[in-house]
Homo-oligomer: A and B are copies of this chain.
Amino acid sequence: MTVMNMIEALNDAHDVMMGRDDNIVVMGEDVGYFGGVFRVTAGLQAKYGRTRVFDAPIAEGGIVAAGIGMALYGLKPVAEIQFADYIFPGFDQIFSEAGRIRYRTAGEWSVPMVIRSPYGGGIFGGQTHSQSPEAFFAHMPGIKTVIPSNPYDAKGLLIAAIEDPDPVVFFEPKRIYNGPFDGFYERPVTPWAKHPQADVPEGHYVVPLGKAAIVREGEAVTILAYGTMVHVALATAEAEGVDAEVIDLRTIVPLDIVAIEESVKKTGRCIVLHEATRTAGFGGELAALVQERCFYHLEAPVQRVTGYDTPYPHSMEWTYFPGPARLARALKAVLED
């Protein structure tokens, strides 16, 4: 066990897997000599060489497409998109190609590839360094989407993603790279060091895709969250003294529907929490599933607590961010109902 922040844990996952499998190559903007703008790939080029870890041209479409070609050859590319806000030039290659090649070739070819990208707000990054586009990817057949919330999961999930036979989009909440963030932005920042999930085993281990984690048990209401929002949910439940069960989904496709159903059938109330914009966000899917499958157990409508349907405004970050104040109001509503 070593204490790691999320960046170190992700870096370690690369290192562990590259040491085990020569077919893993890492590419992306600034990931080579420099080690990535968030340092996730630091040291990998020096250790594994320039033909396994290299800078890519600033062309996200090209990065994804080249990765697909490498995967078709038999390599396991792990591509970094510098910010999730910049993944869209690669959208067509992910949606129309990576997600469909196994199907359209009846299994003759497949695309085992990981597309990593720092994601989410909370760092005053403005409109184009703050977005949470997971819903787009959740709507793509053939694509798995993963969003870790702590160093232990980050390493275990990234290893699982690298070992997965299908294309995986792996979003890393950049606000919690260096420490858990619970949305109480006026409080001093806390490092991972003090956090139990920062104890990261050395070497290889897996956190399976498609398994959620119940990070807080409770009877009064179920809060479904992922990424940074898991910490917001935990802190708000404490602050409000609500007996909430908090589920960290970890993977949104495939979803751990069993964990969700069991919890909501127990609590009878549910809140879906995400940072992404509301309309047609993944919260809609979750709310729809919960009412489809737990309708007769629900004592109140499923509430969505989300970002607003506007671009992410630079200076008004804390008014925009779905933090404890927003969640607290929803908790009150769903419990009073």
Contact = CB atoms under 8 A, between A and B. Distances in A.
In this complex, the interface size class of chain A, counting residues with CB under 8 Å from chain B, is: 35 or more
Interface stretch (A46-54, A113-121, A296-304): A296-304
So how many copies of this chain end up in the complex? 2
A284 interface: yes
Contacts of A186: none
Contacts of A303: 292
Residue with the greatest number of chain B CB neighbours at <10 A, chosen from A142, A284, A291, A298? A284
B280 A302 contact: no
A91 interface: yes
A142 B311 contact: yes
A138 interface: yes
A319 interface: no
Contacts of A310: 103, 141
Contact of A88 (B85, B95, B127, B289): B95
B287 A291 contact: yes
A190 interface: no
A323 B139 CA distance: 21
A295 interface: yes
A109 interface: no
A213 interface: no
A237 B302 CA distance: 29
A121 to B, nearest CB: 14
B287 A295 contact: no
Given A91-B91, A288-B287, A304-B292, A311 B136 contact: no
Given A141-B311, A301-B295, A309-B141, A279 B285 contact: yes
Q: Which of A85, A292, A303 has the most CB of B within 10 A?
A: A292
Interface in A290-337: 291-293, 295, 298, 300-304, 309-311, 337
7 contacts: A100-B127, A103-B311, A135-B280, A141-B310, A280-B285, A288-B302, A295-B300
